Amino acid sequence: MSRPAAVVLLSGGLDSATVLAIAASRGFDTYCLSFDYGQRHKAELAAAARVAAAQGASKHRIVHFDLAQFGGSALTDSQIAVPVEGLQPGIPVTYVPARNTVMLSLALAWAEVLGSRDVFIGVNALDYSGYPDCRPEYIAAFEAMANLATKAAVEGARLLIHTPLIDATKADIVRMGLGLGVDYSLTVSCYQADAEGQACGVCDACRLRRKGFAEAGLADPTRYRARD
C-alpha cells in the first residue's frame, strides 16, 4: 500500500527540517512547500531545497507571493532593522502580518489537489518569538476553518494540521531531529543570513537556535559569519 501524502511547510530552518523528519518517520510521503514572500533572508530557500533533497521528500515546491509590497515587518521591509539585542517582551518587528495564515492557506490548496489530509507545520509555543500565529488556539481555529473551506471537506475528508513541535523546547527539537538523522548543517535559521547562508549569530532566530544546541549539550553546526 502506498504511503499517504502530507504537505510539510519547509522554511529551511531548524524547526521545519525537524518536522519534515517527523512526518517521514510517521509514514508519510512528504510534499514540501516553501515560500518566496519577499523575505530578506532568501538563503533559507536554498537551505529548504537542500533539506528536502537530503531527507528524500517526494516533491519540493516554492510558491512566490509578494508580502513585501504590503511591508510592515523587519523581514520584508528593508527600512525596518532586524533586532539584534536579544528577545524582548511582546511581539517583535520581525512579525510578518498574517504570514502563517497565508502559508497554511497555500498548503491547504496543495493538500486538496494531492488528496492529502495532513499538513505539518513547525510552530512552537515555548521557545518562540511571541508570534500570535504560532499559538495552539490559532492552529485549532485554522483547522476548523479549513474543514469548512474545501470541496474535500464537504465530501467528508477531515484535514489535520500537525504541530509536532508545539510544546517542545529548542533543545527538545534538536534532540528529536538528531535522533531522526537530521543534518542541521544544511539548515538556515538566521533572519539576515547572507547569500551563502552564513548566520549573524545575534538576531532572535540565531539566539533561539544557539540556545537549543547549548541546552541540549550538542555541537552547533551553524556557520556564523565574521562580525563587523
CB of 131 to its own copies, least distance (A): 8
Q: Does 138 bind its own copies (CB under 8 A)?
A: yes
Applying CB under 8 A, among 81, 126, 144, 214 the residue interacting with its own copies is 144
For residue 78, count other CB atoms closer than 10 A to its CB.
9
CB-wise, 142 or 184, nearer to its own copies?
Answer: 142
Site string for its own copies, 22-61 (x = CB under 8 A): ---------------------------------------x
CB-wise, 84 or 106, nearer to its own copies?
Answer: 106
166-225 residues in contact with its own copies (CB under 8 A) are none
Round to whole Å and give the CA distance between 201 and 187: 14
Q: Which cell numbers hold the place of 160? A: 489535520
Site string for its own copies, 79-98 (x = CB under 8 A): ------------x---xxxx
Round to whole Å and give the CA distance between 177 and 99: 25
3-state secondary structure of 56: coil
Site string for its own copies, 147-176 (x = CB under 8 A): -xxxx-xx----------------------
Report DSSP letters for 81-150, one per residue: PPP-S---SS--TT--TTHHHHHHHHHHHHHHHHT--EEE----SSSS---GGGSHHHHHHHHHHHHHHS
Q: Which cell numbers hold the place of 83? A: 533586532
Give which of 187, 193, 194 is closest to 222, Cα–Cα: 187
Applying CB under 8 A, among 110, 157, 218, 223 the residue interacting with its own copies is 110
What is the binding site for its own copies (CB under 8 A)? 61, 63-67, 69-72, 91, 95-102, 104-106, 108-110, 112-113, 132-133, 135, 137-138, 141-142, 144-146, 148-151, 153-154
